[in-house]
Amino acid sequence: MKEVPKLPIIDLSSPDLLSTANSLRQACIEYGFFYVVNHGVEEELTGKVFEESNKFFSLPLEDKMKLFRKEDRGYTPLFWRDTPSLLCSQSDSKEIFYVGPLEDISMVREPQHKWPSQEILPSWRATMESFYKKVFSVGKRLLSLIALALDLNEDYFEKARKLDRPTAFLRLLRYPGRFGDSGEEIYGASAHSDYGMITLLVSNGVRGLQVCRDKSKEARVWEDVVHINGAFIVNIGDMMERWTNCLFRSTLHRVMLSGQERYSVAFFLDPNEDYVVQCIESCCSESSPPRFPPIRSGDYLKEHFKLTFGS
Ligand SMILES: O=C(O)CCC(=O)C(=O)O
Ligand SMILES: [Fe+2]
């Protein structure tokens, strides 16, 4: 039997922006998780990203560790405790490579890029840079639709220095196909919601991603996110939930290991570090005042990190 996707599908090729914005609004209020189709990023390029990702993760651990993560760039090995998970009691079974902002966001120093060596992976850097830029522009299109969906000007998120030095980065992920021998329940990614504004995700089609639509209920109900070829899966992060006074929801999700090797790429898009996030006007009223004080985006992200990891 063919599985039917349960999450809403947003079609970016529709010329009717207002109706797309309306569908997006519903999707963000009801689910915080949706598919985006006809986004303009060629499947060929996405395929190339997975190919390059596979080549990198197949290198000997020793070579990968030479690019060990510093800030938002580089490699972290399996079971590295670095998941934005509020609930994980143990580490996740996944390897990660972070491609940080292409341009430096601090403006104080040059970006400290970490790229695999040209001799070993000659097409890596060009592939990742091209994908980064394309997904970034899809992210910006989504944010302009989100602005319309919130009765704001289309350029609300682009203007006022919210996105000229954004904290945008790619996270390449590989979940192993084999389970450990310990008998313990090991997750690919344990239950979490993303910290920031929005996340765009694409996978190689191997199942495993699940969402819990109601995080307030004690008994968690997990639903599989069915793969749609070529679609991005987009989710609202905690910062956007706060910015919209909880009108939009950031949804808990996790990745289960399926016995098959899963590759995915997540693109996290957050505003400039020094942008002050405060309740959007159309999301509060006298009867529904702002629930959170204004906060600098960079401080918010740091605070979240501390809450999760205690440092
Ligand atoms: O790999 C996936 O499908 C999900 C990854 C994820 O949720 C994350 O990196 O925050
Ligand atoms: Fe996530």
Closest-approaching ligand to the CA atom of 171: 1
Written as one string, the DSSP assignment of 262-273 is EEEEEEEE--BT
Q: Report pLDDT digits (tens) over 208-223.
A: 999 998 888 888 899 9
Q: Is the separation of the CB atoms in 270 and 297 below 8 Å?
A: yes
Characterize the bridge pairing of strands 169-175 and 232-236: unpaired
Task: Describe the crossing of helices 124-149 and 17-30 by its angle, rounded to 10 degrees.
Answer: 90
Which ligand has an atom closest to residue 263 CA?
A: 1
126: Cβ–Cβ under 8 A, 6 or more apart, which residues?
A: none
Tens digit of each residue's pLDDT (9 = 90 or more) over 168-219:
899 999 998 876 666 566 788 989 999 999 999 999 999 999 999 888 888 8
Distance 191 CA to ligand 1 centre (A): 10
- Write the pLDDT tens digit of every residue in 78-104: 877 654 444 444 678 889 999 988 876
ipTM exceeding the 0.95 mark: yes
Average pLDDT value for residue range 239-258: 95
Flag the least confident range among 15-19, 124-128, 181-185, 215-219: 181-185
d(CA 147, ligand 1 centre) in Å: 25
Supply φ then ψ for residue 56, to 5 degrees.
-65, -50
Checking 177-181 for CB contacts under 8 A at 24+ apart, the result is 177/259, 177/260, 177/261, 177/262, 178/259, 179/257, 179/259, 180/93
**How far apart are the C-alpha atoms of 137 and 269, rounded to whole Å?**
11
| Domain spanning 9-309: CATH superfamily | B-lactam Antibiotic, Isopenicillin N Synthase; Chain (2.60.120.330)
Across 62-71, 83-92, 127-136, 286-295, least confident range: 83-92
Q: Of 98, 99, 193, 253, which is best to mutate to test ligand 1, by the most ligand atoms within 8 angstroms of its C-beta? A: 253
For residues 285 and 282, what is the distance between their CA atoms, to the nearest angstrom?
A: 8
158 — pLDDT class (breaks 50, 70, 90): confident
Report whether pLDDT(297) > 80: yes
For the segment 52-71, what is each residue's pLDDT rounded down to a tens digit? 999 999 999 999 999 998 87
Phi, psi (degrees; rounded to nearest 5) at 284: -135, 160
Question: pLDDT, tens digit, for every residue of 29-45?
Answer: 999 999 999 999 999 99
For 107-132, what is the mean pLDDT? 87
Q: What is the pLDDT of residue 222?
A: 93
Q: Which residues line ligand 1 (CB under 6 A)?
A: 171, 173, 189, 194, 201, 203, 209, 253, 255, 264, 266
Q: Which atom of ligand 1 is nearest to the CA of 199?
A: 10
More confident residue, 304 or 192: 192
Residue 112's pLDDT band (cuts 50, 70, 90): confident
CB 229 within 8 A of CB 39: no
CB 93 within 8 Å of CB 62: no
pLDDT at residue 291 above 50?
yes
Mutation test residue for ligand 1: of 96, 173, 251, 258, the one with most atoms within 8 Å of CB: 173
Q: Note the pTM of the prediction, 2 decimals.
A: 0.92
Q: Phi and psi of 244, rounded to 5°? A: -95, 15
> And the tokens for 212?
């819990």
Dihedral (CA of 34, 54, 83, 220) sign: positive
Assess whether pLDDT exceeds 80 at residue 224: yes
Least confident of 145-154, 193-202, 270-279: 270-279
Query: 90 alpha carbon to ligand 2 midpoint, in Å?
Result: 16
Ligand at shortest distance from the CA of 92: 1
